[in-house]
Amino acid sequence: MTRKKILIIDDDPDIVEAMRMPLEANSYAVTTAKNGKEGLQKVKEEAPDLIILDVMMDTDTEGFHVAYTLRSEDADSEYKKYKNIPILMITAISGKKGMKFLMEKDMEYLPVDDFIEKPVKPKDLIEKVAKLL
Amino acid sequence: MFSYSTIPEKSSVEKELAERISWFIALRWIIVFGISLVSLFARFIMGIKLPITKLLIICLCVLLLNGIYSGVQKRIKSIELFANVQISVDWIILIFLIHYTGGIESPMIFYFIFHVIISAVLLRRKECYLQTTFSVLLICGLSVLEYAEIVPHVQICELFPMPVYNNGVLIISVLFFTVTTLYVSCYLATSITHHLRKRENEILILKNTVTDAYEKLQAIDKEKNEFTFKVTHELRSPLSAVYSLLKSIEEGYAGEVSQKARDLIVRSEKRIRFLLTLVNDLLDLVAGRSEKPREGEKKQIDINDVVKRSVLLVEEKAKLKDVKFVINSTGTVSYLFMVPDDLDIILSNLIDNSVKYSYKGGTITITNKIVNKEIMIEISDTGIGIHEDDLDKIFNEFYRAENARTVEYEGTGLGLSIVRALVKKYGGNISVTSVFGKGATFVILLPVG
């Protein structure tokens, strides 16, 4: 059985490392990108099975743009092939606000499959990744 | 400090002068109409011999002129000159009217006083004196010319069977009283308007100063909030990274960890977890203190939904202590217009507190109802309560009552500050009552809109 490939797009190398360790320990192949542009490039090159995506990178909403680009409804989109790759988004949830982004199709709709809270707990991460793959 | 020459906002002063000139032009329509009517009435009803054709021609000229004034007034650049021209032309017309209605004997001579007052309203003090002088020269000139019979006198009224235009003593006395009346009127009127204008300018300057200061304050506040927001954001990233890394080590992903090392890691995690909470609370506090929510950001929020969500967040903690919830909703209206999340932060903070400070097996009662067009939300617990001395301090930043610290060692002391800031942001109010050792009740009042 081939190992499932996971692409982590995050600009914080320590967060990436903290996620890489438990993922590799659970036999996933991990590849990383440190910004949205590099991330999209890696999607084309490596065609990962799952994408873990941070929101704030070079800009405050870079992660959102990556998600929108990948899930574009545009028929000519160059990412059409990758539209069905599940996306797990990392969010820094402030205080007691709870889930800030809803997965329902409304104004705050984000085309992602699940969220994981930052700081990342390995157990949560593994659970969510397993569910999506 | 404020002199008339320092007009702070020339445009607005000029705008006002323009408004007054429009009013002046409107007034002129009425006056011309009135003079025409009175002339016709005097000539044909009362039978007074008046050169009615000449008078009506003058009135027609004035109508024409006034039409031109109102036509060009929007395009005039120097509005002050425009006012001066109008008044000067009016004097000349008035002197013709006076000439054709009996010269020095004309009752229209009183109209000069009105015009002095109008000049005072429209013009600066110096200009007003100049205009008055111009009118005085015209009257004196006319009287002299008629007296010297260079200009023929028009005899109109049988009330004066003997013409008086050639009576030197009478002319001098009439002119004396007319001239003094005009100058006194000029003095009185300009004094009043000068004073009013000065006040107006002071108010204008004051208004500008206050607006400036307010804008500056707002800018500073915004900058401060943005700064705090950035700082806390920057603090959160490394803390998140450290916590995530420690968690990976603790769970053995970086190799075998001894029991001793694991204990130390768990302790480090706890401290970092606390710092993260503090940073998150600070972020909430800054958000609460930021400027008033814009109408566009507000949404209809169902209070019962928020209560349910907030209770769900503490469900686990409550189960451990066997704390029960009683939720009453007696309001016919159970919604508010607020920025999403704000009510969540308010209620979850308060409900989290009541669970934290409840005794085992306690009860937390959450009630919402409408009181005087405001939404009242009451959160009441049967916990440790708040000491009388602490009641007015618990909303202060970082303050934690002694009994609270005993029950829960950790806590940022920011929760209630956040709640208060948010409630105030919506123009609401929060109050607390407590019996020490027996429980506390927090009451929030929030406007519906």
Residues on chain A touching B244 (C-beta within 8 angstroms): 14-15, 18-19, 118-121
A90 three-state secondary structure? strand
- Domain containing B115 equals 10-214
Residue A41 pLDDT > 90: yes
Please state the separation of Cα B48 from the chain's center in Å. Answer: 58
Residue A100 pLDDT > 50: no
Closest chain B CA to residue A90: B240
Q: Which residues of B touch A (CB under 8 A)?
A: 236-245, 247-248, 251, 253-254, 276, 280-281, 283-284, 309, 313, 341, 344-345, 348-349, 352, 418
Residues on chain B touching A123 (C-beta within 8 angstroms): 251
When CB atoms are compared, the residue of B248, B276, B284 closest to A18 is B248
Rounding to the nearest 10 degrees, give the CA dihedral for residues A50, A54, A60, A65.
0
Cα–Cα nearest to A12, from B239, B178, B205, B172: B239
CA gap B145, B175 in Å, rounded: 14
Question: Is A14 in Cβ contact with B341 (below 8 Å)?
Answer: no
Residues 6+ apart with CB under 8 A from A59: A65
Distance in Å, alpha carbon of B122 to nearest chain A alpha carbon: 57
pLDDT per position as a tens digit, B251-301:
998 889 999 999 999 999 999 988 888 888 888 887 777 767 777 778 888
Question: Is A96 in Cβ contact with B344 (below 8 Å)?
Answer: yes
| DSSP 8-state class, residue B438 | T
Residues on chain B touching A22 (C-beta within 8 angstroms): 248, 251, 253
Residues 6+ apart with CB under 8 A from B379: B347, B350, B351, B354, B364, B365, B366, B441, B442
pLDDT of residue B19: 84
Residue B290, domain member (yes or no): no
Please report how many Cα atoms fall inside a 13 Å half-sphere around the Cα of residue A23, on the Cβ side: 25
pLDDT of residue B11: 55
B303 and B208 within one domain:
no
Residue B381 pLDDT > 50: yes
pLDDT per position as a tens digit, B69-95:
988 888 888 888 888 999 999 999 999
Residue B308, domain member (yes or no): yes
Please state the separation of Cα A100 from the chain's center in Å. Answer: 17
Residues on chain A touching B345 (C-beta within 8 angstroms): 95-97
Please report how many Cα atoms fall inside a 13 Å half-sphere around the Cα of residue A66, on the Cβ side: 36
Residue B227, domain member (yes or no): no
pLDDT of residue B372: 83
Residue B274, domain member (yes or no): no
ipTM exceeding the 0.95 mark: no
| DSSP 8-state class, residue B296 | G
pLDDT of residue A105: 42
pLDDT of residue A20: 93
Which spans in B290-428 are helix H? Answer: 303-313, 315-321, 342-356, 402-407, 415-425
Residue B2, domain member (yes or no): no
Q: Which residues of A touch B (CB under 8 A)?
A: 12, 14-15, 17-19, 21-22, 25, 92, 94-98, 100, 118-123
B410 and B321 within one domain:
yes
The pLDDT of A110-120, averaged and rounded, is: 83
Q: Are B411 and B405 in contact (CB under 8 A)?
A: yes
Task: Indicate the pairing of strand A29-33 with strand A5-9.
Answer: parallel
Question: Is B348 in Cβ contact with A119 (below 8 Å)?
Answer: no
Which spans in B77-163 are helix H? Answer: 79-100, 111-122, 125-147
pLDDT of residue B160: 62
Q: Which residues of A53-63 are buried (b: 16+ CB within 10 A; e: fewer)?
A: bbbbbeeeebb
Residues on chain A touching B266 (C-beta within 8 angstroms): none
Residue B162 pLDDT > 50: yes
Residues on chain A touching B254 (C-beta within 8 angstroms): 21
Amino acid at B285: L
Q: Residue holding tokens 């680009």? A: A69
Based on its alpha-carbon atoms, the radius of gyration of chain A, rounded to whole angstroms, reads 14
The DSSP H or E segment spanning A66 is helix A62-70
Amino acid at B216: K
When CB atoms are compared, the residue of B247, B276, B348 closest to A96 is B348
The DSSP H or E segment spanning A52 is strand A50-54
Cα–Cα nearest to B301, from B191, B212, B426: B426
| DSSP 8-state class, residue B44 | I
pLDDT of residue B5: 42
Residue B347, domain member (yes or no): yes
B427 and B305 within one domain:
yes
Question: Is A95 in Cβ contact with B345 (below 8 Å)?
Answer: yes
Q: Which two tokens stand for residue B128?
A: 């007003």
User: Where does residue B14 rank: exposed (0-12), middle (13-18), buried (19+ CB within 10 A)?
Assistant: middle
A9 vs B114 pLDDT, higher one: A9
Q: How many cross-chain Cβ pairs, A to B, lie less than 8 Å apart?
A: 75
Q: Which long-range contacts (CB under 8 A, 24 or more apart) does B162-165 make?
A: B163/B105, B164/B104, B164/B105, B165/B102, B165/B103, B165/B104, B165/B105
Find the length of chain A.
133
Residue B365 pLDDT > 70: yes
Lowest mean pLDDT among A99-108, B201-210, B313-322, B436-445: A99-108
B210 and B308 within one domain:
no
Cα–Cα nearest to A56, from B265, B113, B233: B233
When CB atoms are compared, the residue of A25, A97, A119 closest to B244 is A119
Residues 6+ apart with CB under 8 A from A36: A9, A57, A58, A62, A63, A65, A66
- Out of B214, B235, B270, pick the residue that ends a domain: B214
Residue A59 pLDDT > 80: no
pLDDT per position as a tens digit, B1-19:
334 444 444 456 677 788 8
pLDDT of residue A83: 87
Total of domains in chain B: 2
Q: Are B325 and B364 in contact (CB under 8 A)?
A: yes
B307 and B160 within one domain:
no
pLDDT of residue B298: 85
B303 and B210 within one domain:
no
B447 vs B108 pLDDT, higher one: B447
Residue A102 pLDDT > 50: no
Distance in Å, alpha carbon of B205 to nearest chain A alpha carbon: 42
The pLDDT of A17-39, averaged and rounded, is: 93
- Out of B191, B214, B237, pick the residue that ends a domain: B214
Residues on chain A touching B247 (C-beta within 8 angstroms): 18, 119-122
Q: Are A16 and A8 in contact (CB under 8 A)?
A: yes
Residue A92 pLDDT > 80: no
Which spans in B41-110 are helix H? Answer: 52-72, 79-100
Lowest mean pLDDT among A27-41, B114-128, B219-233: B219-233
Lowest mean pLDDT among B14-18, B316-320, B394-398, B412-416: B14-18
The DSSP H or E segment spanning A98 is none
CATH code, B323: 3.30.565.10
Domain architecture of chain A: domains with CATH: 5-127 (3.40.50.2300)
B299 and B210 within one domain:
no
Q: Which residues of B109-129 are buried (b: 16+ CB within 10 A; e: fewer)?
A: bebbbebbbbbbbbbbbebbb
Residue B247 pLDDT > 80: yes
Q: Which two tokens stand for residue A6?
A: 């996971």
- Out of B190, B214, B238, pick the residue that ends a domain: B214
Residue B222, domain member (yes or no): no
How would residue A94 be classed by pLDDT, with cut points 50, 70 and 90? Answer: very low
CA gap A10, A87 in Å, rounded: 13
Distance in Å, alpha carbon of B246 to nearest chain A alpha carbon: 8
Q: Are B284 and B225 in contact (CB under 8 A)?
A: no
pLDDT of residue B370: 86
Residues on chain B touching A14 (C-beta within 8 angstroms): 238, 241-242, 244-245
Residue B350, domain member (yes or no): yes
The pLDDT of B371-389, averaged and rounded, is: 92
Residue A93 pLDDT > 60: no
How would residue A112 be classed by pLDDT, with cut points 50, 70 and 90? Answer: confident
Find the length of chain B.
449
DSSP codes joined into one string, B26-37: HHHHHHHHHHHH
Residue B161 pLDDT > 70: no
Closest chain A CA to residue B309: A98
pLDDT of residue B100: 87
Residues on chain B touching A61 (C-beta within 8 angstroms): none
Q: How far is CA B333 from CA B85, B196, B371, B444, in A?
A: 65, 51, 11, 16
Residue A30 bridge partners (DSSP): A6
Please report how many Cα atoms fall inside a 13 Å half-sphere around the Cα of residue B1, on the Cβ side: 6
| DSSP 8-state class, residue B331 | -
Q: How far is CA B124 from CA A46, B128, B130, B196, B211, in A?
A: 82, 6, 10, 12, 28
B33 and B143 within one domain:
yes
Q: Are A39 and B269 in contact (CB under 8 A)?
A: no
Q: What is the mean pLDDT of chain B?
A: 86
